[in-house]
Amino acid sequence: MNWAGCMKLFAVVIVSLMLLGCAGGQPAAPAQAPATTPPVTTPPVTAPPAPVKEVFKPIKLVYLVKNTGGNDVTVTLWLEKEKDCNGRKTLAGIENLKMIGDKGEGAWAKVTVYTDTGESGVSVTTSRSDMAFDDLKPWAQDLNIYLTINEMFANGGKNFVTDAVWNSTEPTLLKNVESISSFANYSIFRTGKTFTDKALPCVEFKLAEKSSAGYGGTYNLCVAEMSKDVPLPFVVAVGYDVKAGEGGPAWSLQSFSNEASGEVFVPQCLEPVKCKYVAVPANSGECTDAGGSMEAIKDDKGCPLRYECWTRDKIVLNELKHRQRPGCADPSAEIVSAARACFDQQKDIDPESNSNGCMVSIRGCK
């Protein structure tokens, strides 16, 4: 090839290289992935723990009541369920009353305790099987065994749960207090003594009474202080002041535990029954001299309407009627006579009943 041809070829090569250079003859840079923003991590939201509702522990109290007509009685109270009654917190349960030595089931009743005051509503006493129904009627208490001072304060227009008597150096006076059996004034004072050798640790109170019925005296009461495990000021012991030479009924707490009854029962809102005091007739001595007794004629809630002179047989008959199921015929004269023979010996009866719960005979005394 001549020089001109070589130059021409060289020019073509140069132009080609130039064109390659203009076209970016350098190797293309590898494509880079677009920058990515790291995902925002949101920490998991942990809900605050739900408040743990404290489960109410059932309570069992066993009392011994002495000097009740010559026969000692055990009163067992179970408080097992919390219940709202017209906006008030209550503890619902059942109680069993049984004379010492009695082999039967005793008398049963439902109980509603109002925790804001310690007042109690109770039903009419009945049989064990009736606890499983919701139709029991409220009945007046002759005496509140387990919350005695609370009942007195409530009847006197005060509240023992919150009253200053717990820390006062002066007695608390309750005037013109009406109850079933009396119309009385009371003076209550905390002595400050504590006792730890009883079924529950307790604080001593003294209660002085002046009754319109002509009797009075001074009681010693030991009361449990309220705590997480003891929701109310339960009475631990009650008795007349022995130093004053007085005597009368007494009761004491034998045991306190967190036990359920094991019975099937339907809680009810039983209102406390407040009775007006009805005086015994002035000629009641004539009835007693004739061998009878002045007995209260009561309304459908157990409050006295008036008093009548009853013979001994009539009193026994009335007692036997209460030991039968409602609707039974009156026990016969033979049953009344046999029962009276037992009661006159300060003994209880061993009754025989048919399948309807009606008394058909007295097997003997016990």
For residue 49, pLDDT over 60 is answered with yes
Cβ burial of 138 (10 Å; 0-12, 13-18, 19+) is buried
For residue 37, pLDDT over 70 is answered with no
Who contacts 130 (Cβ-Cβ below 8 Å, separation ≥6)?
A: 108, 136
pLDDT tens readout for residues 299-310: 999 999 999 999
- pLDDT interval class at 343 (50, 70, 90): confident
Q: Hey, what are 239's tokens?
A: 């008795």
For residue 8, pLDDT over 80 is answered with no
| pLDDT given for residue 247 in this prediction | 63
pLDDT tens readout for residues 86-125: 999 999 999 999 888 777 788 899 999 999 999 999 999 9
For residue 69, pLDDT over 70 is answered with no
- Interatomic CA distance for residues 365 and 342, integer angstroms: 5
Mean pLDDT of the chain: 84
| pLDDT given for residue 127 in this prediction | 87
CB 110 within 8 A of CB 78: no
Q: Hey, what are 72's tokens?
A: 């000692």
For residue 199, pLDDT over 90 is answered with yes
Who contacts 71 (Cβ-Cβ below 8 Å, separation ≥6)?
A: 99, 100, 346, 348
pTM: 0.75
Least trusted range by pLDDT, from 2-6, 274-278, 342-346: 2-6
CA atoms within 13 A on the CB side of 15: 6
| pLDDT given for residue 333 in this prediction | 93
Higher pLDDT, 225 or 99: 225
| pLDDT given for residue 58 in this prediction | 96
State the average pLDDT over residues 338-346.
Answer: 89
| pLDDT given for residue 14 in this prediction | 34
| pLDDT given for residue 7 in this prediction | 36
CB 70 within 8 A of CB 90: no
| pLDDT given for residue 26 in this prediction | 47
For residue 25, pLDDT over 50 is answered with no
- Interatomic CA distance for residues 204 and 184, integer angstroms: 22
Who contacts 126 (Cβ-Cβ below 8 Å, separation ≥6)?
A: 107, 108, 109, 136
Who contacts 48 (Cβ-Cβ below 8 Å, separation ≥6)?
A: none
- Interatomic CA distance for residues 306 and 150, integer angstroms: 27
For residue 194, pLDDT over 50 is answered with yes
Torsion of CA 144, 150, 151, 155, to 10 degrees: 170
Q: Give the N- to C-terminal CA distance of the chain in Å, as an integer.
A: 153
In the chain, the amino acid numbered 255 is: S
| pLDDT given for residue 21 in this prediction | 40
- pLDDT interval class at 67 (50, 70, 90): low
Higher pLDDT, 215 or 159: 159
Cβ burial of 187 (10 Å; 0-12, 13-18, 19+) is middle
Higher pLDDT, 286 or 67: 286
- Interatomic CA distance for residues 101 and 265, integer angstroms: 26
For residue 265, pLDDT over 60 is answered with yes
